[in-house]
Structure 1
Amino acid sequence: MNKALKSKLLLISVALVWGSSYMLSKLAFDYTGALTMIAYRFISATILTSIFFYKKLPEINFRIIKKGFFMGIFLFLAMVLSTYGVKYTTASNAGFLSCLNVIIVPVVYYLLFKKKLKKKEIFGTIISFVG
């Protein structure tokens, strides 16, 4: 399998898993709470990441832990908001709102860093907005 085909298949699989996660989250709320579900997701992600990157674990130092802690706070807040959003709305609405980051990220990037966006980034943002 060539590299281009492999990358396309991986991208499609990520989209399928991400898209189906909203429906599965709605079903999981019948059995557990939002924070418990987030804990399971973070624990499983930690285990899988540790398995795949076990050779890098000895390189972790305090600076990396500190940066990871602050990034983790933002990730946790995003997950809590997203998970509670799925709980209180339909899976399709939650998926739509979560995918708005495709539109929001380039705009925030421009506003924060005052760097002009490339034509293809503007085009992608417009296409995403219209879609």
Structure 2
Amino acid sequence: MNRSELILLGITAIWGFTFPAMKVSLGYLPPILFLAYRFGIAFLLMLLLFRSRVLRKETLKEGFILGLTLFFGHGFQIVGLKYTTASNSAFITSLYVVFTPFIAYFLLGDRFKGRDVLSLIVALTGLYLISGASLNFNYGDLLTVLSALSFAFQIVLVQKFGERDYLSLAFWQIFWNFVFSSAFALTFEPLMVPKDPIPWLGVLYTSVFATVIAFTLQVKHQRHTKAHRAALIYSAEPIFGHISAFLTIREVLSLKGYLGAALIMAGIWNEVRKES
């Protein structure tokens, strides 16, 4: 691993710890309003810290596209989190790793291999088990699969656009995510300003660490690795997510759930062997 890949691993740990933080916050806030607060604070912080360095029209269009994929990714994820566990959300979100080679094929022309297909099959078998081994999938788990697809698009598009000004690109994707989240929340959700500090701790953690710091570093350092390698590094996120969910809210999976999680990780790590 080079320095940039180690930084991406650190980002992955930050993202893993967002799952229990968001799960707890959802007891106090509607899901998309939570995102609006998260990305609103992140947008203002980036504007305050970097000012004219991020307000570049050259990256506005690309930032809009990335912001749209992030809105769908986070939107499906956090709404799904209302109906599933933090651990399920973490492991199912990680399916973007096995989706990425196929999205890269359609968007970048990168060829996928037989091992990619095997990884996808193994991981989807894990999804079946972690969701209860029934074709009647949990609603939250299904939404989280859509989230994983959206994040796969975002990862590949970062690879495509990453040669542009990374700081401005990170700013615009955060800004557009805030715009989309706010518009949705104001239209479909009640406006709330909680007095309890607990949800604000989740908002601040996810906005400052998981958004401003993580997205800025992601766009800067993912340029120095391949899209599939970045996805592989991010594969540690569900492990961090489950550990943090266990430590903070004492969440555990069933035996079938752990088997499903293991298969999801096996499918993901099969991608690691592909490049070794």
Q: Is the structural similarity TM-score above 0.5?
A: yes
Give the whole-Å Cα distance in 2 for the aligned partners of 1:11 and 1:114: 24
| Change beyond 3 A, Cα 1:56–1:19 | same
Does residue 71 in structure 1 map to residue 66 in structure 2? yes
Does the CA-based 8 Å contact 2:19-2:90 persist in structure 1?
A: yes
Does the CA-based 8 Å contact 2:97-2:268 persist in structure 1?
A: no
Provide Cα deviations, 1:56-86, integer angstroms capped at 9, x if missing partner.
145x22x543443333222212111011111
Q: Following TM superposition, by how much is the alpha carbon of 1:31 offset from its aligned partner in structure 2, in angstroms?
A: 0.9
Q: Following TM superposition, by how much is the alpha carbon of 1:34 offset from its aligned partner in structure 2, in angstroms?
A: 0.3
Q: Following TM superposition, by how much is the alpha carbon of 1:128 offset from its aligned partner in structure 2, in angstroms?
A: 5.1
Give the whole-Å Cα distance in 2 for the aligned partners of 1:64 and 1:115: 24
Structure 2 residue aligned with 1:40: 37
| Change beyond 3 A, Cα 1:42–1:128 | farther
AA aligned to 1:30 is G
Equivalent position SS for 2:29: coil
| Change beyond 3 A, Cα 1:81–1:12 | same
Identity of aligned residues (%): 28
State which of 100, 103, 107 in structure 2 corresponds to 1:108. Answer: 103
Q: Following TM superposition, by how much is the alpha carbon of 1:93 offset from its aligned partner in structure 2, in angstroms?
A: 0.7
AA aligned to 2:38 is R
State which of 79, 87, 91 in structure 2 corresponds to 1:84. Answer: 79
Summarize the alignment of residues 17-56 of structure 1 with structure 2, pairs less than 5 Å apart: 17-56=14-53
Provide Cα deviations, 1:19-44, integer angstroms capped at 9, x if missing partner.
11111111001111101110111112
Does residue 15 in structure 1 map to residue 12 in structure 2? yes
Paired residues in the alignment total 124
Q: Following TM superposition, by how much is the alpha carbon of 1:105 offset from its aligned partner in structure 2, in angstroms?
A: 0.6
Provide Cα deviations, 1:62-121, integer angstroms capped at 9, x if missing partner.
x54344333322221211101111111011110111111111111221245443359995
Taking structure 1 as the reference length, the TM-score comes to: 0.72
Q: Structure 2 unaligned runs (5+)?
A: 116-225, 236-264, 270-276
Give the whole-Å Cα distance in 1 for the aligned partners of 2:14 and 2:268: 24
Structure 2 residue aligned with 1:129: 267
Taking structure 2 as the reference length, the TM-score comes to: 0.38
Give the whole-Å Cα distance in 2 for the aligned partners of 1:72 and 1:130: 26
Give the whole-Å Cα distance in 2 for the aligned partners of 1:112 and 1:11: 23
Q: Structure 1 unaligned runs (5+)?
A: none
Give the whole-Å Cα distance in 1 for the aligned partners of 2:16 and 2:89: 10
Does the CA-based 8 Å contact 1:103-1:128 persist in structure 2?
A: no
